[in-house]
Amino acid sequence: MRNNHRAKLLRLALAALLLAASLLLAAPANGQSNYYLKNGDRVVFYGDSITDQMLYTGFVETYTLTRFPRLNVTFVHSGWGGDRVTGGGGGPIDLRLRRDVFAHKPTVMTIMLGMNDAGYKAFDEGLYKTYTTGYEHIIDSVKKELPGIRITVIEASPFDDVTHPPSFEGGYNAVLVRYAQFAKELGERDGLAVADANTAFVEALQKANRTDPETAKRIIPDRVHPAVGGALLLAEGLLKAWNAPATVTAVEIDAAGKRVVSAENSKVTGLEAANGLAWSQLDVTLPMPLDLKDPVLALAVRSSDIEQALDEEPLKVTGLAAARYTLKIDGEEVGTFTKEQLAEGINLALLPTPMAKQAASVHALTGKRTQVHWARWRMLQVPLADDHFAREQAALDALDRLDREIAARQHSAAQPKSHHYELIPQ
C-alpha cells in the first residue's frame, strides 16, 4: 500500500512538471511581456465615486489574472464617492491616504481625481489652484511614505457632453480636459505613468452616438458614472498605459499540410484530419470577460478599438476543402464559418467559447472579492473606528481571510485548461 501511494505521488508530481513545462514552452510572449505589473505587486486603486464603482478597476484586475495567471498580484479598491484632492466623505486627504493607501503597503497606486474637484461648472481659477496644489500634496505624501512605489496618474474621466447638450458654453468636459492636462504634466514631471481616460473614451462615445444615439446615452447614464460598457473604456485607457498585450492566443493551422504553422500563448497537440479537422489546445491566457449580450457594452466595444488593443484571439485555418465548417470546442458549437473566413482568421475572443465562460467565472469572483473588501472597509472598519468593540478586530480579520480565500479561488479559476477543437464540414 505504501509503495502504491508513493508511486501515485510520483505520477502526480511528474504530471505537474510536464504541465509546467508545456506552459513555459507555450507562452514566450507573456513570459517576455513588458506589462507594468510584476510578480508580488500590490495595487491600490484610489479615486472618487468612479473608482468606488469598482467596475473599471474590476476589469483591470480580471485582465491581469486571466492574461498572467502565474503572476502573484493583489488588488485593493480604495475609491470613495465625492472625493476631491482634499478628501471628502471618507475624511480629509491625509486620513484617507493613511488608512486607505499606506496601511495596505502597495507597490503600485493609481489615482483618478478631478470630476468633483472642478465643481461641475465653468472653469474656476480658485478650484483649479486647489486641485493642482492638492494633487502635488498627494504625490509628495505617497512618495515620502512609500519610497519606490510606482504611481499611475489617470486623467479625469469624461463628463458626457456628447449625447446630451452641454450645460454651459464649452461644456464641463472641456474643463475636465484642462484638469487632465495638469495631471499629465505632473506625471511627466515626476516620472509617473500616465493613463488617458478621456480622449479615446470621448471619441468612442461620439462614434456610438452616431451609430445608436439612444443606447449611447446609457454608456454614461447620469453623465458622470459610466455603466459597465463605459467602465470597460476606462479600463482600456489604464491597461494601454500599462503596456497590456493585445493577444490572447494566436493559432494558425494548415489543414492541407496537416501541420500547426504557429501557436502563440498556446500549445496545440493531437492534430487529426479525418472528417474535417480536430486538435487540442492548452492556452496560457484567457480572453476578456465581455458580455456582448449587454447592448451598451456591445456598443462600447464596436465604437472603440478594445478588440484590436486588448482582446485578439485569432484562429486561422488554411487549406480547407469544404465551403463551410462548424467549429465546436469541447463539444459545444461556437459558430459556422466559410473556409474564406477561417483562412482569414476568426477572433475567438468575441465568440461564446469555453474560454470566454472561464474568464467570466474569474470576473464573477473578482466582483465578489471586491464586495467583501468594501463591506469590511466601509461597513465595519470606518464606522466602528471610534467604538473599540471587543470583537471588532476579529470580525475584520475574518473578512480579510475570506478576501484571501476568494483571491486564491480567482487565481485557481484563471489557470490554463485543455480544450478539444473540431472543424466539421457542412
Residue 303 located in a structural domain: no
Alpha-carbon distance 252 to 315, whole Å?
6
Residue 308 located in a structural domain: no
CB 79 within 8 A of CB 90: no
**Whether residue 194 is found in the same domain as residue 87:** yes
pLDDT at 414 over 60: yes
Q: Which residues in 230-356 belong to E strands, given as ranges?
A: 250-254, 259-264, 266-272, 277-283, 314-318, 324-329, 332-338, 346-347
Considering only CA atoms, which of 198, 197, 193, 235 is closest in space to residue 60?
235
| Residue 159, domain CATH | 3.40.50.1110
**Whether residue 238 is found in the same domain as residue 263:** no
Over residues 248-293, the pLDDT tens digits come to 999 999 999 999 999 999 999 999 998 899 999 999 999 999 999 9
Residue 113 located in a structural domain: yes
- Predicted local distance difference test score (pLDDT) of residue 2: 40
Q: Which residues in 196-329 belong to E strands, given as ranges?
A: 250-254, 259-264, 266-272, 277-283, 314-318, 324-329
**Whether residue 103 is found in the same domain as residue 152:** yes
410 vs 12, residue with greater confidence: 410
Cell 485557481, located at residue: 412
- Predicted local distance difference test score (pLDDT) of residue 274: 81
**Whether residue 219 is found in the same domain as residue 272:** no
Considering only CA atoms, which of 249, 242, 273 is closest in space to residue 259?
273
Cell 508511486, located at residue: 7
* DSSP one-letter string for 61-100: HHHHHHH-TT---EEEEEE-TT-BTTEETTEEHHHHHHHH
pTM check: above 0.95: no
**Whether residue 43 is found in the same domain as residue 148:** yes
Alpha-carbon distance 252 to 314, whole Å?
8
pLDDT at 32 over 80: no
**Whether residue 91 is found in the same domain as residue 236:** yes
Residue 290 located in a structural domain: no
Residue 187 located in a structural domain: yes
**Whether residue 16 is found in the same domain as residue 96:** no
Region 156-185: mean pLDDT is: 97
Euclidean distance between the first and the last CA atom of the chain, given in angstroms as a whole number? 53
Residue 292 located in a structural domain: no
**Segments in 27-52 forming alpha helices (H):** 28-31, 49-52
Domain count, the chain: 3
Q: Output the average pLDDT for the chain.
A: 93
- Predicted local distance difference test score (pLDDT) of residue 323: 97
Alpha-carbon distance 5 to 81, whole Å?
56
**Whether residue 77 is found in the same domain as residue 165:** yes
Region 142-168: mean pLDDT is: 97
Considering only CA atoms, which of 411, 404, 414 is closest in space to residue 369?
404
**Whether residue 360 is found in the same domain as residue 405:** yes
Which residue range is the domain that position 322 belongs to?
A: 250-283+313-426
Q: How confident is the model at residue 27 (pLDDT cuts 50, 70, 90)?
A: very low
- Predicted local distance difference test score (pLDDT) of residue 183: 96
**Whether residue 56 is found in the same domain as residue 6:** no
**Whether residue 228 is found in the same domain as residue 275:** no
Which burial class, exposed, middle or buried, applies to 57 when counting CB atoms under 10 A from its CB (0-12, 13-18, 19+)? buried
Pairing outcome for strands 193-195 and 259-264: unpaired
Instruction: Give the rounded percent of residues in the chain with a pLDDT score beyond 70.
Output: 92
Over residues 317-330, the pLDDT tens digits come to 999 999 999 999 99
Alpha-carbon distance 345 to 332, whole Å?
20
Output Rg (C-alpha) for the chain, integer angstroms: 24
**Whether residue 97 is found in the same domain as residue 157:** yes
Residue 210 located in a structural domain: yes
Region 114-125: mean pLDDT is: 98
Over residues 208-241, the pLDDT tens digits come to 999 999 999 999 999 999 999 999 999 999 999 9
Residue 304 located in a structural domain: no
